[in-house]
Structure 1
């Protein structure tokens, strides 16, 4: 019994449960063939209906729900939102299986936007239940298992479709079963006692795992938390406050305490703290440039991955060809993981060469998109997609690392969330103008021509910025290098 208690109190217990949840929630055998499923005899929709009426709903909905879900995630302390995410995933899969009309599938896209918006809870939960020294391991485990789930789902889907082992509807039923397992596991997750903004007084540690003394030091670079304001008003020593909090922890959080912690005054202070933290985080010009690339590139990446199956079906209709979408997704996921993993072993001064790297590899991604668009060969499309995805995953890993290194305060979720919000805002504009039937409603080839040109623009802008950064660094290095003592005085004067 004692061994079980120790195991449940150890950081590996919630990490293991979250990894199991991440695996079963990402094994989606039908996802690489979703356009084929919707335009085939099972749903009998046209490519134009899927491309111009159904898929754009996800972009609009995702933008609308992202910020409310982010705040709600912190208020509810992560676990309820993780459970809610799995419920929405179950509803999404069920609607995809049992509905056929365009309005119903548009509603399905809205529910799926809630699933993707709740990803912030999945990636934030682990930081609230493990010590800071375990962040790197816990993060790597959770991300690796998610990637493994995507890979297994893609390979399984390819095998089931290629060898006709299951009908499309039965594959969707299998996905429902896997989602139900993930839902059961999510209910077993332990409830965190603290969060980033709302529930800081529930534990002697803040959301990032530092102690009471560290919180006081951290407040010198940020605004004072609600807990510290209360401590100033109370004429008590730090020891007595810790004893009181420890006693409350043993009793468990009460509803009255929770209501007081999220009252109107607390919400106002949370919003003020969000604004101050936002201004401080983006005060770094270099971080601002990396975040700008993040928003622009993620926008283009999401647009490409959302509609690439439509392009594949246009280049080589599935009725005339044994498609290998699942195998391509599996290969691209594994190679992307290898590219991202290699960043940790690459000794490069990213603050000097990073922006030039962003521009150069974005140019390779743009070239791959142009080849996919104009060559008209399905195998070229597959290879181009693998190259494009690997380039993006490599660069987004570098960007995340550099942004985290440049932050003067531990507000990773805030910065990452705002960068994603910026990318969604751009994506919404592009979707409304280019894709939506209420806008231009372009066909798939003109769409991908625009996406390739968009990445070419990113490549040019950041290549020029990178060249300027390298030139500035070289000039500063030359100016600060002391003159050679053996050099004649006349030559030194001539050089100056």
Structure 2
């Protein structure tokens, strides 16, 4: 079949168009903002306790279990099969949502959707295997932008259909099934890459493996153009030792794993990269937890069976607001080396305040407002964090750091789920859970506030130490001293 044939076309346009079409239709899921009302409604008739304690935690556990194996498999099989697998997982997820009944089946849904989440890495990694380096930024921007547009459009469509057409939630899932089926169809037409970043890497004779810089930093950041001044911590990848040997593939794979460990060790030895990665992991764990359970809180504040809800509109506004906030970062001139951790602390305080507002709010509207603030703040800061981490890393090392940060975030989220949500843990009510999450972000803010105070204090001390030498350099040697005193001291 022509759809499975490896393309000989070296142009970046064809794979970009197909990948963007896949990304658009895979994210065009209008049922998602109304998932909890659908599960608790007459179609599935699950209780809030069953959804919170028995169904939703399964996604976290399955995502964690699948992430590392899928990350390795994605590179080994060269991306396309994993993108096709993601398309199949999408279809199975919505078939089960439409026609499955009971807690056990919904738990299977969460396992399959955990596969969807784990395979998402292939969508972005595919770019670097079929596109030349000079097109990284352009293609990454297209792929990220189209998913944002699709998610926003799906949320708006869902709200219009629910509020104006009074459409049942069941049919929102039918539309989602049709959309993800189209996405699967387009995944079959993706060209099969001839190389990958690690297991099937080939020496690049056209261009050296260079740091990402501003050419590919948009892999996970929302569309933005950041031009912040910073002191670079250049860590460019040197993966010659990780090339797969022709005679002993087993030894080549082992060398890959050893090289990955050495690369990660070297990357995290940079304090700047370590602290930005720490914030990334801690905040992403909290962010995913909020996204997983926020509809439960909304349904608690304003039960969907008794009142009009605007989940779709809120999701659309939050996504658009976060994208705008991310875009504005490119026009803010800040010394991120000096003030980066302070920004993380300040916006973590904002996030904590938004979550406390959601906990204490007596009506749904302040709860919606808190979510808008929280999501926009996270999207703004994750954009900055991605740039700070990626700007001087090679593509290969950035992929490793991104994967490790995501894995650590999932470990933290799993621990949080077991303690706060799971029946084997505290099994807290949903409103109390958000009090815990607000406190969690307050602790993050405290960590980075102390770190920023230390950085500012160290910078001031350094300026005080350097200022006498600067004065001497500008005024020349003191008249009472020999003319070579300064050079002697230096």
What TM-score range do you get, normalising by the shorter chain?
0.7 to 0.9
Quick check: 1:43 aligned with 2:39? no
- When structure 1 is superposed on structure 2, of 480-489 and 177-186 the one drifting more is 480-489
For 1:348 and 1:35, locate their aligned partners in 2 and report how far apart those are by CA, in whole Å. 41
SS at match of 2:197: coil
1:126: which partner in 2?
A: 127
1:52: which partner in 2?
A: 53
Cα deviation for residue 11 of structure 1 reads 1.0
Quick check: 1:226 aligned with 2:243? yes
For 1:347 and 1:138, locate their aligned partners in 2 and report how far apart those are by CA, in whole Å. 26
Cα deviation for residue 411 of structure 1 reads 1.1
CA contact (8 A) 2:210 2:236 kept: no
CA contact (8 A) 2:236 2:393 kept: no
RMSD across aligned C-alpha pairs, in angstroms?
A: 2.5
* TM-score, length-scaled by structure 2: 0.87
CA contact (8 A) 2:237 2:397 kept: no
Q: How does 1:166-245 map to 2 (within 5 A)?
A: 166-201=167-202, 221-222=238-239, 224-226=241-243
Residue 307 of structure 2: which of 307, 317, 321 is its match?
321
Quick check: 1:420 aligned with 2:437? no
Cα deviation for residue 202 of structure 1 reads 8.5
Q: 5+ residue gaps in structure 1?
A: 211-217, 231-259, 491-496
For 1:314 and 1:282, locate their aligned partners in 2 and report how far apart those are by CA, in whole Å. 42
SS at match of 2:167: coil
Q: How does 1:384-463 map to 2 (within 5 A)?
A: 384-407=370-393, 410-463=396-449
* TM-score, length-scaled by structure 1: 0.86
* Alpha-carbon distance change, 283 to 297 in structure 1, aligned in 2, over 3 angstroms: same
Higher helix share: 1
2:484: which partner in 1?
A: none
Cα deviation for residue 329 of structure 1 reads 0.2
Residue 302 of structure 1: which of 288, 294, 305 is its match?
288
Q: 5+ residue gaps in structure 2?
A: 1-5, 212-234, 480-490
2:348: which partner in 1?
A: 362
Quick check: 1:101 aligned with 2:102? yes
Structure 1 residue ranges, 4+ long, deviating more than 4 angstroms after superposition: 5-8, 202-210, 218-223, 484-490
1:282: which partner in 2?
A: 268
CA contact (8 A) 1:128 1:208 kept: no
2:165: which partner in 1?
A: 164
* Alpha-carbon distance change, 448 to 84 in structure 1, aligned in 2, over 3 angstroms: same
CA contact (8 A) 1:25 1:179 kept: yes
What count of residue pairs does the alignment treat as equivalent?
Answer: 448
CA contact (8 A) 2:329 2:384 kept: yes
Cα deviation for residue 220 of structure 1 reads 8.8
For 2:331 and 2:236, locate their aligned partners in 1 and report how far apart those are by CA, in whole Å. 34
CA contact (8 A) 2:210 2:395 kept: no
Quick check: 1:149 aligned with 2:150? yes
